[in-house]
Structure 1
Amino acid sequence: MDNVRPDALGDVLVLGLGHTGQAVARYLLHLADDPATAARVGSVTVVGGAKSSDGPAARALRAAGAAVTVGEDSVEGSYDLCVASPGISEFSDLFAAGRAASGAVVGEPELVWRESPERWIAITGTNGKTTTTSLATALLTGAGIDAVSVGNIGTNLADALDAGRPAGRWYVTELSSFQLATTERLHPRVACLLNVTPDHLEWHRTFDGYVAAKERVFANLDPSDLAVLVVDDPVCARVADGLEARGLTVCRVSVEGVPDAPCRAYLDGDTLTVDLPDGTHRLADFSAMALEGPHNAANALVASACALFAGAPDDAVTAGLVAFGPLEHRIEPVRTVDGVRYVNDSKATNTDAAVTAVGAFAPGTVVCLVGGHDKGGDLADFCRAMGGACRAVVAYGEARARMGGALEEAGVPVTYAPHMAEALEAARALVRPGDVVLLSPACSSFDEFSGYEERGRAFKDLVRALVPEGGRR
């Protein structure tokens, strides 16, 4: 792949003053300060938007040489390039103002790929992105291949590039639909789509718009690259058909059967198996992994396909699969108390994620804690799935009335609680040995917590308080 880094970026407008906006601005300012690259950047202007304020971040960027405007969505001047933060919808007033004032609009992944386009693995989907990204990175590093997890997973791409990218390093990139919506030439060597269910419709306006953003991860692939899709998901199966029609190399992943395709990943009995153009790779048994649930078997197959394509040998991939443990807030075991397992799945901020989580356990053994800030989506499929999987549900928080009412109408036993702490107490009264108390809220956390991370850690603290450290219950 040719190095497509532009000789000059010109006058650059950055939209947003959050983590991404700050990282992009810092990277550009460092280019401007370096005599070897100073000619590439004419100026850096940051517009934080109507909800931004003149705090430490704005002052730091001004001190470094950026022009910073806060508290408004208007844009003054004209720019060669606009870099929009992912939280700014393409339908927003700020995005429209930036587009009108600029020659082109891209997001952070597009900018960083243009700056450093080699060895990218891109992973997207509604659920499972972080687990798959982390696992793919662990498989590569365990094989002695330099790789880092970047993007939506927490390490901004601009910060990673600013810190220096050694020759040969792979970027294993978790990409959200927000980030993909502003890509044009992004061209990873491996692009993965795990699943697509309705989410973030307030940003994309329609489900079709959301799907189109996800599909952009494949837009520039050629037959020498690898597209990996979990075809148990109907949207992914349709997208896979279209990619094959383009003549691309498509690895079809399934945990429900063996795909009828030359390039595929599947369970041969319990054995994770990947057929690539270079042959068949029989890896670890899924039961030997610490991860649980069919969705994690699919995640493991996707991560394995990525690592094998990038050059990891079978024995290293097998060892890495067995060594990998659950991530925080993602079906994370907390403690067993009186024969009952307590599991933290606070990352489940939508109904599909919660349905997937309860499916990781034996039907009828789960008491699930659901609730928080209500996203307002349709609950019919959620209620049907929860009824078949859960013995009972405890609905709490802002969403408890709507979610609990819908579940009761579907015949699911529901107990109500005002907050998560009371919900845990209510769940304890419902369980028996062998059961699972699962925090999988199907909602965002903003009615009670700053984010799913704080919610999950609060849950773990509450569970650990049930038994003193070192206790044997």
Structure 2
Amino acid sequence: MPLADVFSLLVLGQGKSGLDVARWALAHPERVSTVTVYGGGTSEPNDATRALEAAGASFVYGTEQVEGAYDVCVTCPGISEFSGFFKAGREHAAQIMGEPEFAYRLSPDNWIAITGTNGKTTTTSLTDYLLKAAGEASVAVGNIGEPPINEIDGRAHNEWFVAELSSYQIATTTELHPRVAVLLNITPDHLGWHKSHKNYALAKIKLFDNMVDDDLVVVDVEDAGIHEFDEYIYTPGRRICKVAFDEPEGADAAFVRDGKMVVRLKGVETQLVATSELKISGHHNVINALCAATAALAVGADVDGVRRGLASFQPLEHRVEPCGEIDGVRYVNDSKATNTDAVEKALTAFPDDDVILLLGGHDKGTPLTDFARVVMDNVRSVVCFGDARERFTAAMDEADVDGDVDIAQADDLRDAVDVARSLSSRGDVILLSPACSSFDEFSGYEERGRVFKDYVAQLAAAAKSQME
């Protein structure tokens, strides 16, 4: 159902995207007749909401009991579609959607959408970078930075929106129709919001619902979690590019041949760069780069520009990010790895190195048996820290059947770095890839990563001063 020329707007939630939608609506009185925001059950006024009230929005605080009738309801991503708050919005509005869907309805041309449990931000950032390197107008939106709604008014002619979308955001879409959609992987996550792993996976796959044979679906066919849902992905009339390290069959594929990245679209192959030229490390990042290059080439990006971009793109902060060397030991910040799948992918970046792995933080209760076996096969030492240290240590001890991996504990992150240093030798890699959220000690993975890097810098400065 298209948006009316003029409509009344209900916003659920007063998070960033909700307030940004309200702000856009107030700037467009020719489109939006009234703006009403229900902040939620525990909401209270703040400086941002007061400013919007002064500009003409109506705010209702401290309740999820919606009253009135509205043409359009836009929900913040933290509000589950199974919640009473969401249901109340649906009952009182003719249409309900998330912010990306709302932005798409307002500006539907030239969207590339990227989702997956892990790797979304790197792949989104790289796709945007490749398009720019090829001379295309492009902006990365969604979870990676600004909500799409904030880029609508200043959008350049033929500019690409490269959107990093979460399962929350896709679940509430009905008309979103990207030209290219990328699915990187599926591992269990956000089960509290979605109520089941199947619901979570199908929310990701819903990204493809409106795509036709002129569009391109890009899928990592190596991922076992994706394979579980093949019946929902491989449907008639859907054009799919299979991505894997080893060459898949089909007219549309992306892979590595003789050490070089290759993208095949409609049977025509394009050789790109050697994987050794990438500055982002690990098997998973080769897959991410193949997906990004496929998306860029599929929308007509210049091949030479894509090659230049692949060779010059730098690692993102907190994602297998090199952050220093002390006494011949390299330190790597992968604080964004808040689940076990992300840690397993990070370990592929160091196939020939002795790794001392820092694991821990706020325990999410993730099953650890299989993960611990993978860790034992790929590291020399493990330091478990934070609230999760006891359970992680027990799992690692049980998996270390040969007794050849050093397993230690630490109270907090800095203590874990000190313990890791004491276990290290020249040539080792100390890798913070914690498989946990950070809320036992930090406000988020970003703060955890910055603290890690700052502490490494302090240690490096101290080591240097001792040598002088």
TM-score of the superposition, structure 1-length normalised?
Answer: 0.94
In 1: Cα distance, 2:106 partner to 2:396 partner = 50
Q: Which residue of 1 aligns with 2:116?
A: 125
Match of 1:20 among 6, 17, 34: 17
Match of 2:138 among 117, 122, 147: 147
Question: Is residue 371–residue 398 contact of structure 1 (8 Å, CA) maintained in 2?
Answer: yes
Q: Please say if 1:170 is aligned against 2:167.
A: no
In 2: Cα distance, 1:174 partner to 1:104 partner = 23
In 2: Cα distance, 1:362 partner to 1:280 partner = 29
Match of 1:294 among 272, 283, 296: 283
Q: Which residue of 2 aligns with 1:35?
A: none
Describe the SS at the equivalent of 2:305. helix
Deviation, structure 1 residue 20:
0.7
Deviations 1:238-269 (A, max 9, x none): 556654432222110001x1101111000012
In 1: Cα distance, 2:93 partner to 2:235 partner = 36
Structure 2 residue runs without a partner (length 5+): none
Q: How does 1:255-270 map to 2 (within 5 A)?
A: 255=245, 257-270=246-259
Q: Which residue of 1 aligns with 2:151?
A: 160
User: For residues 238 and 315 of structure 1, do their structure 2 counterparts lie closer, same or farther at Cα, with a shift above 3 Å needed?
Assistant: farther
Q: How does 1:81-120 map to 2 (within 5 A)?
A: 81-120=72-111
Q: Which residue of 1 aligns with 2:307?
A: 318
Match of 1:357 among 346, 350, 375: 346
In 1: Cα distance, 2:269 partner to 2:35 partner = 50
Deviation, structure 1 residue 90:
1.4
In 1: Cα distance, 2:81 partner to 2:232 partner = 26
Q: Which residue of 2 aligns with 1:444?
A: 437
Describe the SS at the equivalent of 1:283. strand
Question: Is residue 251–residue 267 contact of structure 2 (8 Å, CA) maintained in 1?
Answer: no
Structure 1 residue runs without a partner (length 5+): 33-37
Deviations 1:70-124 (A, max 9, x none): 2222212121111011111112232122122222210011111111010000000
Deviation, structure 1 residue 236:
2.8
Q: Please say if 1:195 is aligned against 2:206.
A: no
Describe the SS at the equivalent of 1:210. helix
Q: Which amino acid aligns with 2:322?
A: P
Deviation, structure 1 residue 28:
1.1
Q: Which residue of 2 aligns with 1:11?
A: 8
Q: Which amino acid aligns with 2:144?
A: I
Q: How does 1:37-436 map to 2 (within 5 A)?
A: 38=30, 40-162=31-153, 164-237=154-227, 239=229, 242-255=232-245, 257-277=246-266, 279-362=268-351, 365-411=354-400, 413-436=406-429
User: For residues 209 and 363 of structure 1, do their structure 2 counterparts lie closer, same or farther at Cα, with a shift above 3 Å needed?
Assistant: farther
TM-score of the superposition, structure 2-length normalised?
Answer: 0.95
In 1: Cα distance, 2:119 partner to 2:144 partner = 11
Alignment identity in percent?
Answer: 48
Question: Is residue 5–residue 115 contact of structure 1 (8 Å, CA) maintained in 2?
Answer: no
Deviation, structure 1 residue 375:
1.2
Question: Is residue 17–residue 57 contact of structure 1 (8 Å, CA) maintained in 2?
Answer: no
User: For residues 30 and 207 of structure 1, do their structure 2 counterparts lie closer, same or farther at Cα, with a shift above 3 Å needed?
Assistant: same
In 2: Cα distance, 1:187 partner to 1:67 partner = 32
In 2: Cα distance, 1:392 partner to 1:92 partner = 43
Deviations 1:400-443 (A, max 9, x none): 11222212121154211111010110111111111110111111
Deviation, structure 1 residue 310:
1.4
Question: Is residue 364–residue 391 contact of structure 1 (8 Å, CA) maintained in 2?
Answer: no
Deviations 1:45-89 (A, max 9, x none): 111112322111210110111111222222121211110111111
Count residues with an aligned counterpart: 462
In 2: Cα distance, 1:179 partner to 1:455 partner = 26
